């Protein structure tokens, strides 16, 4: 399960317009600093999408690309104030 799926199943306002296909950046999340190094390195394509996201931070990731793992237990995420839908929807 990804952060996007978890958010959507629990009523958290995260659009996920492209349904996890790294084409919209509406699942942009800011990861708590101490957990950021525990995440797998973002792919070049994810980095490219993040460059287009609104409110980008050093610990930004796409929620659709973060798979829940035991070592992420307790991780806090912040949603940016706004999101930018690169699909134009």
Q: What is the DSSP letter of 40?
A: P
Interface stretch with ligand FES, choices 13-21, 35-43, 68-76 (CB under 6 A): 13-21
CB 55 → ligand FES: shortest distance, Å? 15
With 0-12 / 13-18 / 19 or more C-beta atoms within 10 angstroms meaning exposed / middle / buried, residue 40 is exposed
The only residue of 3, 7, 18, 77 in contact with ligand FES, by rule CB under 6 A: 18
How many angstroms separate the CA atoms of 87 and 73, rounded?
Answer: 32
Provide the binding-site residues for ligand FES, judged by CB under 6 A: 4, 16-18, 20, 22-27, 49, 62, 64
């Amino acid at each position: 399960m990804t952060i996007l799926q978890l958010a959507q199943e629990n009523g958290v306002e995260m659009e996920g317009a492209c349904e996890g296909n790294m084409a919209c950046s509406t699942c942009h999340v800011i990861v708590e600093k101490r957990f950021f190094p525990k995440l797998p390195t973002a792919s070049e394509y994810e980095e490219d999408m993040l460059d287009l996201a609104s409110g980008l931070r050093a610990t930004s990731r796409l929620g659709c690309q973060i798979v829940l793992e035991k070592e992420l237990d307790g991780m806090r995420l912040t949603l940016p104030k706004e999101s930018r839908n690169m699909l134009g929807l």
